[in-house]
Structure 1
Amino acid sequence: MPTIGVVDTTFARFNMGKAAIDEIQQNMSAKIIRRTVPGVKDLPVAAKKLIEEEGCEIVMALGMPGSKEQDKICAHEASTGIIQAQLMTNTHIIEVFVHEDEARDENELVFLMDQRSREHALNVVKMLSRPEKMIKEAGTGQRQGFEDVGPARM
């Protein structure tokens, strides 16, 4: 049984970790270890610790950067840290960010946070147990949270 790490933040305005865990549990048997940190800049070290100290085979890092320019800079720094943690551990850390200004209103924001968390959780399931499904989806314009855009046409 694989061990999956899920790390989310208190800054997010929706319980993204709960949605991701629910989706994973509906689709595969796995040991899930969850951690919650204050904000997105805390995600890289929490994910790295889940890999190195808890033996997670893959980690989901979920967060909601705010809409201000400072928040966008913090999100970029967090993303860079997540990439560095992946390279340091040779382990996938699936970054699941929903920027507060991606949605037109609060209802759409909640929808997007739930959908993106769940759809990336399904990506984790596929990566661990059905990698051939990921290969079949290559180049198909998949989008997590919003409608898929489909492949480009010539």
Structure 2
Amino acid sequence: MKERVYGVADTTFSRVNMGEIAINTIRREDPEADIVRYTVPGIKDLPVAAKRLIDSGCNGVITLGWVGKTQLDKYSYLATSIGLITVQIMTSTHVIDVTVHEDEAEDEESLKEIAIDRTRKHSVNLVRLVRDGKNALTGMAGKGLRQGYRNAGQLD
């Protein structure tokens, strides 16, 4: 196994192949690394997928989820988020949670653009954290950077 191994956990519920986007982005950013993909049915399965990827030797994981519009969907995401945070605490390993919510956009094309942008940007963030270490993002602190939308910008 190579020095750096990235885990990509995605779901069959997603309406965009975010796993493929993440893999392509990670390969472009860190071509020497290995990537392991783990696809599960839905978001509530992502915490165990992330934990299994870490247990198998991944140095960092990106999880890619899709949340429906109902209140029940939002509760499922909340449970997932708590699970992913717990995995990070248990393993001292970054798990970048990339989630797209159906009610973020009025139309499907905009929703697709959000998914692609968010996945690419967070994939780069994961590579920087794993490859370059804990201070890799420090130079970008306070810049109002966003994933999925235009950057908010820095307040002077």
What TM-score, normalized by structure 2, do the two folds share? 0.94
Cα distance, 1:152 vs structure 2: 2.3
- Partners of 1:81 and 1:48 lie apart in 2 by 10
1:151 aligns with 2:154: yes
- Partners of 2:136 and 2:151 lie apart in 1 by 16
Cα distance, 1:133 vs structure 2: 4.4
In structure 2, what residue type is equivalent to 1:31?
D
| SS of the residue 2:13 aligns to | coil
Moved over 4 A (4+): none
Map of 1:1-154 to 2, 5 A cutoff?
1-29=3-31, 30-52=33-55, 54-131=56-133, 132-153=135-156
In structure 1, what residue type is equivalent to 2:116?
D
Cα distance, 1:127 vs structure 2: 1.0
Contact 2:26 2:123 in 1 (8 A): yes
- Percent identity over the alignment? 45
Cα distance, 1:104 vs structure 2: 1.5
In structure 2, what residue type is equivalent to 1:45?
V
Unaligned stretches of 5+ residues in structure 1: none
After superposition, give the CA deviation of every residue in 1:13-46 in whole Å (9 maximum; x if it has no partner): 0101100111111111210000000000000001
RMSD between superposed Cα atoms in Å: 1.0
